A and B are shown apart, each in its own frame.
Chain A
Amino acid sequence: MTAQTPATAVKLPRQTRGKRPHFFDDPALDQMMTFLLELTTEVSVMRERLDTVERLLERDGKVTRETIEAYIPDADIEKVRAAWRDAYVKRVFRMHPAG
């Protein structure tokens, strides 16, 4: 991509340069961790979407994709969501006792 590329066509690089370190003896486990963390993220995204749907139904009795897209939680609801995410992460990434 160069200065000639129109701004609307810019695609930023998704991959960093350089060698990726691995932390496990089998690099497949490093790859697996990425899958796992991405999947954990998607579950949280879905949970949040569901929460939005529930709140819209409670409020309006119906939902549309537009109202979901436009929904911005207020500070109190955001606090509840943050607490849920926190507890969720702690549940999913429960470490075995060392020993």
Chain B
Amino acid sequence: MSAQPIVDIETLYRPTHDERARQQFVSTLRKHAIVDMRADLKRDWESRVEPALQARGEAPADWRGIERAMEAEPSFRFYSSVRYNVQEMTFLSVQEPVERALDGMIDVAREAAKRNPAGGSLRLTPNFEVPRYVSSLDIHLIPGSFHSEYTQDDVAQGAVVAFGSKVFGGQHPFRKKAGAVAESVGHWLHLKYPDFKPRRILDLGTCSGKNLFPYAEVFPGAELYGIDAGAPLLRFGHAQAEAAGLPVHFSQQNAESLDFPDGHFDLIVSSFFFHEIPLKSTHKILRECHRLLARGGMMVQMELPNEAAVSAYENFFWNWDTGNNAEPFYTTFRSQDPIALSTAAGFAAEQSFAHLIPDWVTFGEERYRRFVKGELPAPAHGSGGWFVFGARKT
């Protein structure tokens, strides 16, 4: 065995001067849409549209009413148009440099899969049946979605998703740092349950492991497992992990039916996962979580706040993606009570939870300790906080 370390796959990706400038600008535009235009939209609703409706005795009863009232307003039309275009431009801005780097990146991923110098693994399933809800649409406007393969041992979609999310979050106040969710969930668990020491951790819909890797630091010695339906994402993530010296076990599996034995994990997590899944499959996946957890084990799913947890206006804001960002299951997922989802999967109600936790990096450790003691509230989801739901298996 050669002692050569695996090359960091990201170093092969070399956007030109102008491509970099374009990506930087798209990040700025995304931030403008999701922070500034979003604030303008809310102001327009609160200061003008809502009072006018109230004056006529027509104040909407729910978020759908707000959507109907706002649909024709210029503030909403421009906000929506900029958000949609930026989403497209995000992936367009990385595809060409990914194409140029592809051959070399595939070589790196092959090398990583052959040698596993960090002690991780990559297990792909030939003729894997990708769930229709992943393969039949281009989820949040990634051309080719998460699963498409264009050449042998392809990593392209892994690279497009990884570099695309850097563009997407590049100027965002709370999404700049890769792995922010895992870091936050990990530290929250650590502070809240100091005795909780997971031996094996599983991340569902791990993509390339971005929100799995940070657990290695919070829970040293824990074995990390990530599953996903998309082979190119797994190859890419595995190459990154091996280069970073992280032993991570990636496998291509459908989260609805996993091949791990009962009680195999102490911690099961996911992030930005369930809102992309039809409700029937959500139930199956949560039952899998119950089966796979050992007694005393925890599941923590980071997701969008559910409909009942936020105001009608916020529901209008969040549900935008359902029809405008190719995420058809978003509204239905959000309409569910997360506690009821957990109990339907076999967890006890009194062991289930659904609430916000602060973002680790931006909130800071001292304040985090006070949050865990109940002395400070967590910021809103996506604005310095993350919504999580889950349960402990007894």
Task: Please indicate the chain A residues that have their CB under 8 angstroms from the CB of B47 in the complex.
Answer: 98
Question: Contacts of A6 on B, CB cut-off 8 Å?
Answer: 103, 151
Q: Is the CB of A95 within 8 A of B25?
A: no
Q: Using CB atoms, name the residue of chain A closest to B73.
A: A98
Instruction: List the A residue with the shortest CB-CB distance to B80.
Output: A23
Residue B92 at the chain A interface, CB threshold 8 Å: yes
Partner-B contacts on A (CB < 8 A): 1, 3-18, 20-21, 23-24, 30, 33-34, 37-38, 40-42, 44-45, 48-49, 52, 68-69, 71, 81-82, 85-86, 89-90, 93, 95-96, 98-99
Interchain Cβ contacts under 8 Å between A and B, 7 examples? A3-B151, A7-B154, A10-B150, A12-B160, A14-B143, A33-B78, A41-B26
Provide the bound-state CA to CA distance between A58 and B93, in Å.
30
Q: Is the CB of A37 within 8 A of B29?
A: yes
Other-chain residue from B22, B48, B137, B143 in contact with A12 (beta carbon distance below 8 A): B143
Which bracket fits the contact residues of B?
A: 35 or more
Given A52-B17, A85-B28, A37-B85 contact (CB < 8 Å)? yes
Contact yes or no, B21 A45, CB < 8 A:
yes
Whether B378 is near chain A, meaning CB under 8 Å from some CB there, is: no
Taking Cβ atoms with an 8 Å cutoff, the residues of B that contact A are 16-18, 21-22, 24-26, 28-29, 32, 36-37, 40, 44, 47-48, 73-78, 80-82, 84-86, 88-89, 92, 95, 98-99, 102-103, 106, 137-138, 141-144, 148-152, 154, 156, 160, 171, 323-324, 326
Q: Is B81 in contact with A23, judged by CB distance below 8 angstroms?
A: yes
With A5-B150, A30-B81, A48-B21 known to touch, is A12 a contact of B99 (CB < 8 Å)? yes
| Inter-chain contacts of A16 with B (CB < 8 A) | 88, 138, 141-143, 326
Distance between Cα atoms of A37 and B32 in the complex (Å): 12
Q: How many A-B residue pairs have CB under 8 A?
A: 140
Which 6 A-B pairs rank lowest in CB-CB distance, beginning with the nearest? A48-B21, A16-B138, A7-B103, A44-B25, A13-B143, A45-B21
Chain B contact residues: helix, strand, loop or mixed: helix
Measured CB to CB, the closest approach of chain B to A73, in angstroms, equals 10
- Say yes or no: A41 contacts B25, CB within 8 Å: yes
A3 lies within 8 A of B75 (CB): no
Whether A37 and B141, one on each chain, are in contact in the complex, defined by CB atoms closer than 8 angstroms, is no
Q: Is the CB of A37 within 8 A of B82?
A: yes
The smallest beta-carbon distance between A21 and chain B, in angstroms, is 5
* Most chain B C-beta atoms within 10 Å of own C-beta, residue among A41, A48, A71: A41
Does the CB pair A10–B21 fall under 8 Å?
Answer: no
State which of A4, A68, A82, A95 has its C-beta within 8 Å of the C-beta of B75. A95
Chain A residues within 8 Å of B95, by CB: 12, 14
CB-CB under 8 A for A1 and B151, given A8-B103, A24-B81, A30-B81: yes
